[in-house]
Each structure stands twice: as structure tokens, then as C-alpha cells.
Amino acid sequence: MCGIIGYIGKKEASPILISGLRRLEYRGYDSAGVSVWNGRDLVNVKRTGRISVLSDAIDEKRPVGSLGIAHTRWATHGAPSEENAHPHSDCSGKVAVVHNGIIENFVSLKKSLLSEGHKFISETDTEVIAHMIEKYMKVEDFESAVVSTLKLLEGAYGLVAISADEPDKIIVAKKGSPLVIGIGDGEYFVASDTSAILDHTKNVIYLDDGEVGVVESGGYRVFNLHDNSVADKMIEEVSANMDAIEKGGFDTFMLKEIFEQPESIVNAMRGHITEGGSVVKFGGLEGHEKRLSEINRVIIVACGTSFHAGLVARWMMEELVKIPVEVEYASEFRYRNPIVDENCFVIAISQSGETADTLAALKLAKERGAFTYGVCNVVGSSIARAVDAGAYLHAGPEISVASTKAFTSQITVLALLSVYFAQQFGKINKNEAHKILSHLEQIPNKVKEYLENVKDVEEIAKEFYNATNILYLGRGANFPVALEGALKMKELSYIHAEGCPAAEMKHGPIALIDKEMPVIFIATKDSTYDKIVSNIQEVKARGGRVIAIATVGDNYLETLVEHVIYVPETIEIFSPLLNVIPMQLLAYYITTMKGHDVDKPRNLAKSVTVE
């Protein structure tokens, strides 16, 4: 979730680029940079940290010119550093490129560029683009070189490029990552997000996937990358205010992040599913196959929502890999004397990558010889740097304190890791993997379908927002979803909420049930469905008010309980990815009805860096 701005016109570019970057900072930042044509060279200035640091550096270097591009980075490949910050250049320094998205085939592209003598200075996927443009510019003009390059890229991009050999134009392209052209008076802007240019113009055109734009100070044109046909683009007027733009038109970051899940789940899968959907790859584990073959136990350490993702992962791994899996609260693990040795694969799950207890648990496991693996969202975070290998979520910045999209992305990565291990250990063949993965690949659309039609949850929230206690019950793969639903509810609404395995209810929590008590059952069609229906009956018999999460088409539960929330069908191991969405929404609606700040609940911090 990085940000892009570019300018071509008569004014000085640097101040426009810096003010645009400041507008984009909310999307996440760890480093930023600009490239400005000063009439002779492209002058690049890059810094790690906030835009103010870059701004100070620009004040010193004073790159003066009326053509420039800039980028604020939220790392996806390579830690936050000046080398990895955009813009990226070719060997000659004559090409500058900024890019949002992920180039999935960058490893093979980089390999062949290296063999042709290109020198790289960053670990990013983006740098290959600058070198490819350089390569093609030896025989083509700038525009054709960009087109030739784009045709070889796999993955997603919002791309902006300039060249010192043709310093009268900016070339932009879009596939999967947004890009707009802003139309001013004798000047043009390009940006990943209208918020970056709203101070200058409200007239924009939105590029569609597969389109390329050439922007010059005298005008612009847009064409289709594949058939070269001219795209007839409509100029639209942006009316939204800044606050609405930062939140993507949603009232809060939490709601925005809930609705981002169809996209963030796709991003979590990017690059891992190969060979026509039948093989899973994890770049970080390549070269470790021998070590992995000696693994006989998996231990997962995490806190809060990440711990719940770990519990889902245990279910998936035991089911698919048939290996013993333990899931530990990091804060407990670190103060025990846990049995860990070099045959253990220890997974630290953390959105922030900075949670002190998780980091300490990880270090303990490492000291005892385990192979350590990180599943983090924030690139270059402490946990990501401390592990032997890892995978990023690529979920984009999660700003709301309550974790939502990170949870579903964690489960997605861990599902893929389960299939990976099952393949490595010979537990499933390609056909079986293909079947499982095709169910996983359908999840983003199912989440989308659910979110587009959701209406029942808000109505239910109206009825229950004054409750003082709520009980969440689930079994099997969905017991962790009960825990997660309860955590979301208590941390946001301050209503006391408990998650519990449905069968455990009769060993104590059943005493709480009376006609005031809302009980939420996760009762989708799976191997424990009949058992959970019996548990529902036990609650009904004691007057409890039941809300059931059910599979679309299950009409039976309606005859039994007051409220049914229907979710699309999927296989049991992936059902938590769908079942958690109404839990997130219920906590969200109840909290807003109570008038609390959804994004910043009291007493909590987004990143818990103290124990």
C-alpha cells in the first residue's frame, strides 16, 4: 500500500511532489523518495522514515525542475532502507520508476538481467522494471520500451516512469493497482490516489487495468497495452473531502479494512500458487528442504488475534499435514521451559511484527535450535528480521487497532503453508492440492459476495447493543472464530464477551444462560454440525437468545433460533475465513451504536511493544 505522485508542467515539481506525498502518508510509509529532471540529469533524493525527513533532504539538495515523480513506500520486498526506497533507476541513472503492487516473476526477470550484466542495488521487485526499460531503450524509444517491459511483467502494478532521454513525458500504466491522471491548467499530475492531487485539481481520469498513459505538458493520451487501441477516457470531477478519501469513503478505518478483505486475501495468496494451481511455493523456504524434512513438530507462538489465527492453522495443519501442532500464547511460552529442539518448526505470527512477547518467544525458540518462521504484515519489522525465513501478508497497513484483514490474511498464508508442508511431506498429491487450492482461491469472491449483500448484521446489532454479556460458541475449525468474535466484541464495545468451545459450555458457562443472554453459535455445515445443533438446543432449553452463523441454504436453523446470519459455503478448513466476517461486523455495528471510537478503543495500542 504505497503512494505515487508525479508532476509535469511549468511550476517547480519538488514542493508539489512533497505535498502530494504528505497527503498519501496515511497509506503507510517507511521510506520515500523523489526523482526530478533538472534540465541535465534525473536527481534522486530518498530517505527512510517520514516524509518530513525527505522534505528536509530536498531543501538541502534543491533539485529544481518541472518534471518529477515521487513515492512513499510501505515495504513489500526488502526492508525499509534508502536502497529499497523508490524511485528506482537503471544502471545509467537515466530511467526512474515508481511502482505500487507486486511483480510476481521478478526473480526470474532479475536473473536474466543479471546475466546480461545489469547491476542492482536494491532487493525490490520494482528495480527490474527500470533495468528492463533501459535494456529495451537501446533499440526502442521510451514509450515502446515501457510497453515491451509491461508485456513481460506478471503480477500487479500501478507504474510511473520517466527518462532523461525523453524528459518531456511521464508514462503510466495500471494493472491491479490504482492510477489516475489529474488534469490541471497547462499542467498534469499522476497519482495512485486522488488525495495526492486534490489540492491542485479535481478533474481526473481513472486508468483501467491494461491501460497505458503518456502524459506530456501539452496533453495526454491513453491506450490499451495489448492491442494498442486508443482508450476514450472520461474526465471525472472528484467531490469527496480528504477525510473520506483516506478512509476510502468509509466512516472508519475498521470498516474500510473489513471491506478490503476480498483484495487482501488475494494479495496474501499472490505468488504462492503455481503450476496451474496445483503446487504451493514459499520463496523463503527454498533451499531449506533438507532441514524441513527433519521437522517433526510445529509450534506456533502469537498473541491476541494472531493467536487465534494460529489456532485455525493448527486445525488446518493437523488435517492436511498430519503433524503435531502446538499453539502457545507467546507471553506464556517465553516464561515456561518449553520443550523445543532443532526438529521443531516454530511459527511466530504477528501483524505488526513488533509484539514484544512474540519476539521474545521467537528468540527463545531460536536459542534452542528450532527453525523459526515469521508470518508478519509489516515488512522489515523486528520479527520479520529475526526469523530464519518467513512470508509477508501483503495486506497493506492495518490502521484500526482491532485486527480484521490481517486475521484473514494470516489464515490464508497459513493455509498455503499447510498445503506446502502436506506436499513436502508427501501427504497429498497434485490433484488433491489442486482441489483444496481451488476452494481457497474462491474465498475472496465469496467474502465479496457476502459483504455486498450484508444487511442482517446491523439489524441484529440494534437488538443486542445494550447487552452486558455475550457468549460465542464454536467447535473444531470454528472454535478459534468464537474466540476471535468475542475478542473483537470486548475490545471495541467494552461488552463482556467470552468465546468457548461449544461442548465446554456445559462444564460451567451454561450457568450464565438466561433469557437476557445473547449466545452466538458458529453453526455452518461441517463435521460437527449435528453436535452444535444439540448445543443450540441446550441453550434454547434454558431461554438463551441465539444468533446462528449458518451456511446459505440451511433452512433448519431458522426454525430453532431467533436470528440466522447466512454465509457462503466452503470446505470446513477454510470456513473460518468466511465465518469471521459477520463477527467483525457485529462488533463494529454494536460499537458505533454505543458511540465509542471504533478505530481507537480505550487502553489499547496497535502495536504492543512492551510485555
Q: Which residues of the chain form contacts with ligand M6R (CB under 6 A)?
A: 303-306, 350-352, 355, 358, 401-403, 487, 491, 604, 607-608
Residue 160 or 497: which CB sits closer to ligand M6R? 497
Residue 65 or 304: which CB sits closer to ligand M6R? 304
Residue 352 or 570: which CB sits closer to ligand M6R? 352
CA distances from 17 to 72, 189, 280, 552 (A): 10, 10, 40, 49
Distance, in Å, from the CA atom of 482 to the CA atom of 442, rounded to the nearest integer, reads: 23
Look up 363 and say whether it is catalytic: no
Please pick, among 11, 490, 525, 606, the residue that the annotation labels catalytic. Answer: 606
Look up 606 and say whether it is catalytic: yes
Q: Would you say 257 and 229 are in contact if contact means Cβ atoms under 8 Å apart?
A: no
Residue found under cell 527433519: 294
Q: Would you say 56 and 108 are in contact if contact means Cβ atoms under 8 Å apart?
A: no
Give the shortest CB-144-to-ligand M6R separation in angstroms: 45
Residue 351 or 528: which CB sits closer to ligand M6R? 351
Those residues with Cβ within 8 angstroms of residue 407's Cβ, 6 or more apart along the chain or in another chain: 305, 306, 308, 309, 484, 580
Quote the cell numbers at residue 609: 511493544
Give the shortest CB-360-to-ligand M6R separation in angstroms: 12
Give the shortest CB-353-to-ligand M6R separation in angstroms: 7
Residue 350 or 592: which CB sits closer to ligand M6R? 350
Give the shortest CB-303-to-ligand M6R separation in angstroms: 4
Give the shortest CB-411-to-ligand M6R separation in angstroms: 13
Q: Would you say 357 and 334 are in contact if contact means Cβ atoms under 8 Å apart?
A: yes
Q: Which amino acid is at 340?
A: V
Phi and psi at 519, nearest 5°, equal: -125, 120
Give the shortest CB-348-to-ligand M6R separation in angstroms: 8
SS3 281: coil
Strands ordered across the beta sheet of 203-206: 42-48, 31-37, 67-73, 3-8, 188-191, 180-183, 203-206, 236-237
Q: Beta strand 157-163 with 95-100: parallel, antiparallel or unpaired?
A: antiparallel
What stretch of H or E contains 332? helix 330-333
Q: Helix-strand-coil percent breakdown of the chain, rounded to 5?
A: 40, 25, 35
CA distances from 225 to 148, 153, 169, 173, 214 (A): 9, 12, 18, 9, 12
Residue 84 or 351: which CB sits closer to ligand M6R? 351
Please pick, among 2, 303, 376, 500, the residue that the annotation labels catalytic. Answer: 2
Give the shortest CB-408-to-ligand M6R separation in angstroms: 13
* Alpha-carbon dihedral sign for residues 592, 596, 597, 598: negative
Residue 174 or 256: which CB sits closer to ligand M6R? 256
Residue 106 or 588: which CB sits closer to ligand M6R? 588
Q: Would you say 169 and 220 are in contact if contact means Cβ atoms under 8 Å apart?
A: no
**HSE on the CB side for 420, CA within 13 Å?**
23
Which residue number is nearest to ligand M6R in terms of Cβ?
A: 304
Residue 428 or 486: which CB sits closer to ligand M6R? 486
SS3 329: strand
Quote the cell numbers at residue 39: 534540465
Three-class SS of 536-582: HHHHHHCCCEEEEEEECCCCCHHHCCCEEEEECCCCHHHHHHHHHHH
Give the shortest CB-313-to-ligand M6R separation in angstroms: 14
CA 293, distance to chain mean position in Å, is 30
Residue 107 or 608: which CB sits closer to ligand M6R? 608
176: which DSSP letter? B
Give the shortest CB-44-to-ligand M6R separation in angstroms: 33
Q: Cis before residue 178, ω within 30 degrees of 0?
A: no
Residue 191 or 361: which CB sits closer to ligand M6R? 361
Residue 278 or 584: which CB sits closer to ligand M6R? 584
Q: Which amino acid is at 537?
A: Q
Those residues with Cβ within 8 angstroms of residue 477's Cβ, 6 or more apart along the chain or in another chain: 312, 315, 316, 526, 572, 573, 575, 576
Give the shortest CB-587-to-ligand M6R separation in angstroms: 9
Helical segments of 390-516, H only: 405-424, 430-453, 456-464, 479-493
Quote the cell numbers at residue 394: 501483503
Quote the cell numbers at residue 177: 493497482
Give the shortest CB-544-to-ligand M6R separation in angstroms: 26
Quote the cell numbers at residue 571: 470446505
Give the shortest CB-264-to-ligand M6R separation in angstroms: 14
Active site residues: 2, 606
